[in-house]
Amino acid sequence: MSPPPRHPWARGFVLVGGRTTTRWRMLVHTLVSSTGEHPPAAAGPHPEARALYLRVLAGPQSVAELSASCGVPLGVTRVLLGDLAGRGLVTLHADTDPFSPHILERLLDGLRAL
């Protein structure tokens, strides 16, 4: 990974071309997984995008975890992951309904079993 830039916010803003949104729906806990091994160059020229992509290759993890482990701010992470999804390099998993009885039951049973 490249050394942290001196003004990470400015850099992040510039590298995603000033975009603050992406057409992909991404919650902070949305899981991201890889679609298979592609050369890192497929992630594009930005070291932040490559870092995120390589991290996803290690196994599925949430948008927030990717942001934290790669040191890329959340908003930039979302835009870059949206780009990677657009290139077919990563899959953004569908949300589960947070109030579905099935999910709430698994949540309750799981917490009680700890």
- Sites for another protein among residues 35-54 (CB under 8 A): none
Query: Rule CB under 8 A: is residue 104 a binding residue for another protein?
Result: yes
3 state SS of 8 = helix
Cα dihedral sign, 74-80-82-85: negative
- The helix or strand, by DSSP H or E, that contains position 33, with its residue range, turns out to be strand 31-34
Q: 51, 76, 84, 89: which one contacts another protein (CB under 8 A)?
A: 76
Q: Which of 1, 14, 20, 88 binds another protein (CB under 8 A)?
A: 20
Strands 61-62 vs 90-92: parallel, antiparallel or unpaired: unpaired
CB of 8 to another protein, least distance (A): 8
At its nearest, how many Å lie between another protein and the CB of residue 60?
4
CA pair distance 63, 81, nearest whole angstrom: 8
Nearer to another protein, 1 or 28 (CB): 28
* Least distance from another protein to the Cβ atom of residue 11, Å: 12
The verdict on 22 binding another protein (CB under 8 A) reads: no
CA gap 90, 43 in Å, rounded: 10
